Amino acid sequence: MSSRETHLVELVDEAGSTVGSATVADAHTAPGQLHRAFSVFLVDDQERVLLQQRAATKTRFPLRWGNTCCGHPAPGMTVADAAAQRLGEELGVAGVPLLEAGVYSYFAEDPMTGRVEREYDHVLIGLLPVGTQFRPDPAEVARLLWVSVPDLLARLESDPETYAPWLGGVTDRLVAHLSERSPERSGGK
């Protein structure tokens, strides 16, 4: 895990324009530096989303539940390419087409580790083919859980401290994306 802390991330301004780079460790040391990130939701054919419980060794928000996977593109790398790479590294999944559903900017402090998140977070959604098998990396993922979107929203409301602080915001982008694609909305166009 410590080797990932030396990787470079892309620093951005409030509009998402690149302004430089920093190491993962430096970008997540208080007060933090705004940097590009991504959060992926894998969705199955029943519109359930896959959550992961972050491994105990994570430097930020360990053992909290989050979206399917997340990370940071290296400077010059596309968000989609970086997200596909992390899906492979964390879950052993390859070849899932990803669509961007919006951006969520946030700041969060981890009371357990003292690290911070100050991220310009691209939310990506991938429809998971039926029968996909996972090979989670135990250094990244403690557990996996499929939940319906209504169930996820109820869980976030009833017990927010169990979840990563960005999960509510990225879930809002997911919900907006799914409602835009619903048959009721697109039927009259």
Contacts of 54 (CB under 8 A, 6+ apart): 61, 62, 63, 64, 65, 66, 140, 141, 142, 164
Q: Active site includes 109? A: no
Catalytic residue among 10, 90, 117, 119: 119
Q: Active site includes 119? A: yes
Return d(Cα 120, Cα 139) in angstroms, integer: 25
Report the greatest alpha carbon distance in the chain: 52
Catalytic residue among 10, 69, 70, 140: 70
The count of other CB atoms within 10 Å of the CB of residue 128 is: 19
Return d(Cα 36, Cα 104) in angstroms, integer: 10
Enzyme catalytic residues: 70, 119
